[in-house]
Amino acid sequence: MTIELEYMTGFGNEFETEVLPGALPIGQFSPQKVKYDLYAEQFNVTAFTAPRCDNRRNWFYRIRPSVVQGEYEAIDNALVRSAPITEVVTPPSMLRWDPVELPTEKTDFIDGLVTMAANGSVNGQAGIGIHIYAANSSMEGRYFCNADGELLFVPELGEIILHTECGKLAIKAGEIAVIPRGIKFSVELLTDTARGYICENYGQPYVLAERGPVGANGYANDRDFEYPIACFEDKQGDFELVTKFGGNLFRCDIGHSPFDVVAWTGNSAPYKYDLSRFNVINTVSFDHPDPSIFTVLTSPSGTPGVANIDFVVFPPRWMVAENTFRPPYYHRNMMSEFMGLIEGVYDAKEHGFVPGGSSLHNCMSPHGPEAEVFEKASNAELAPQRYENTMAFMFESRYIIQPTKFALEGKTRQPNYSQCWKGIKKKFKG
C-alpha cells in the first residue's frame, strides 16, 4: 500500500501553509488576536541569536498552546539509552549485528525502540544516538517528543506515516525523513510490521553536504526534499505525551491531540527525501574515491570538515574505474562508522551483513573487504559494471561510538564477525 500525500519542496525553505484561509497573519507573527481565535507559538531549534543562515524557527497558529498539558513523571527508559554510555565498556573491536527481531506482542513505535549505540554527550549537545525501531502497531492516543535531538528515520521494512505538528509525511524503505528536535509526532503503520534505523542527532541540525568544484548541482539536490502541508485535528481524549529529555523518558497526560496546528510558517519542519533521487557522482578514471562523496546530510561539529554526523548512502550505480580495486579499500580512520543495510548486498561484505543488520567500525579500528571479496575483486575483469538492488548507509561521526549493553551482550551480536578476514593470506613475493 502506498499513500500519496501533498508536500512542499525545497530544503530549509521559509514555508507557509494554512488549512483555513487567513489563519496565517500577514506581515507579522504575533498579532493581538489571531484569526479563528488560534494561539500563536514560536518554535526555535536554534538559539534566537544563531546567524541568519543557520537560524531555524517556526511560528505555529494552533488551537491550544503547548503549555496545555499535564505534569511530567519519569518512566522506565526500557532499552532507550543516551550518550555517554556507561553501562558497558566500549571495545575497539569490529562489531556486527543481525537484525533486531520483529515483535510478536502488540508493540508500537515507542515500545519497539532500542538503542544500539551512542556517542558524545546528550546534555552537551554533541554526538548521536543510534536506535532501531521494530513495531507492529500504530501509536494510539500517545505522542512522542524528543528534546534531545532531531531524528533521522531510515526505514528498512514497511511503510509508516509520521503524523507531526506540521503535517504528515509517508515514508518507506528507500526514503528517509528527519523530525526536528522537539516536534511532537506519532507513528502510524501502513503495513503489518515496520522496522528501521534512527539516527538521533544531538548536535547542529542537518544541512546538505557542500559540493565544492562539482558546482551548483548534484549529490542531494535541494528541490527533492519534501515538507508537509498543515493538517490539523481537533480531538479531545485521555492521551499521553512521552518526552525524551536529558537522556530519560517522561510521560504526561495530554487531554487533546497536539496535532492542532491550523497554519504554520518557518524553516524548521520535518522533511522527507527519496534516496533514489541522490545524484551519485564517482570516478570515471581510476581509484576508489572516499565514501564522503555519498554524503546526503551532514551535521557540522564546529571544526571545518569534521562532522558531528554524516549520513552517507551507497546507492545503485555504475562502476567503471580502470586498473582499480573497486570495493572499499582496507582502511583505518579517525572517524567512527556505523553501517546499516536497507536493501540487497553491500559490495565489501557479501556474507553476514543483511538488510536490517548493522556493523560498527570505530575510530582507528581496521576494516575493509572480507577475504572472499578481496580475492574476487582483485582478479575480476574490469568491464563497466552496474551495482543493482543495493542500498547501504553509514552514520559517520567524529566521536567514538559506544554500543549499548543490549548491542554488546544481546543475541543479535555476531560473535565471530572478525572471522570474515581470517582467510586473508600472505601473498608477498619479495
* Residue 370, burial from CB neighbour count under 10 angstroms (0-12, 13-18, 19+): buried
Is 163 considered catalytic here? no
* Count of residues that bind Fe ion according to CB under 5 A: 1
Residue 131 labeled ligand binder: no
CB of 360 to Fe ion, least distance (A): 11
CB of 294 to Fe ion, least distance (A): 12
Residue 331 labeled ligand binder: yes
CB of 178 to Fe ion, least distance (A): 24
3-state SS, residue 46 = coil
Task: Write the binding mask 100 to 139 for Fe ion: x where contact by CB under 5 A, - elsewhere.
Answer: ----------------------------------------
- Cβ 67 vs Cβ 388: under 8 Å: no
What the block records as the C-alpha cell of 303 is 571544526
CB of 198 to Fe ion, least distance (A): 21
Whose cell is 533514489? That residue is 276
Measured CA to CA, the distance from residue 261 to residue 18 in angstroms comes to 9
Q: Tell me the DSSP string of 70-109.
A: ---EE---TT---SSP-SSPPPSS-EEEPPPPPPSS---T
Residue 361 labeled ligand binder: no
Please identify, using beta-carbon distances, which residue of 62 and 367 lies nearer to Fe ion. 367
Q: Considering only 58-66, 204-212, 330-338, 379-387, which stretch makes contact with Fe ion by CB under 5 A?
A: 330-338
Measured CA to CA, the distance from residue 374 to residue 354 in angstroms comes to 19
Query: Considering 131, 288, 351, 361, which one is annotated as catalytic?
Result: 288
Rule CB under 5 A: say whether 337 interacts with Fe ion: yes
Q: Considering only 123-131, 204-212, 306-314, 334-342, which stretch makes contact with Fe ion by CB under 5 A?
A: 334-342
What the block records as the C-alpha cell of 82 is 543516551
Strand order in the sheet with 185-189: 73-74, 248-256, 236-245, 142-146, 185-189, 159-164, 167-172
Q: Considering only 78-86, 200-208, 238-246, 336-344, which stretch makes contact with Fe ion by CB under 5 A?
A: 336-344
Residue 367 labeled ligand binder: yes
Residue nearest to Fe ion (CB): 337
Q: Where along the sequence are the contacts to Fe ion (CB under 5 A)?
A: 337
Positions marked catalytic: 288
Binding residues for Fe cation are 331, 337
Give binding residues as ranges: 331, 337, 346, 367
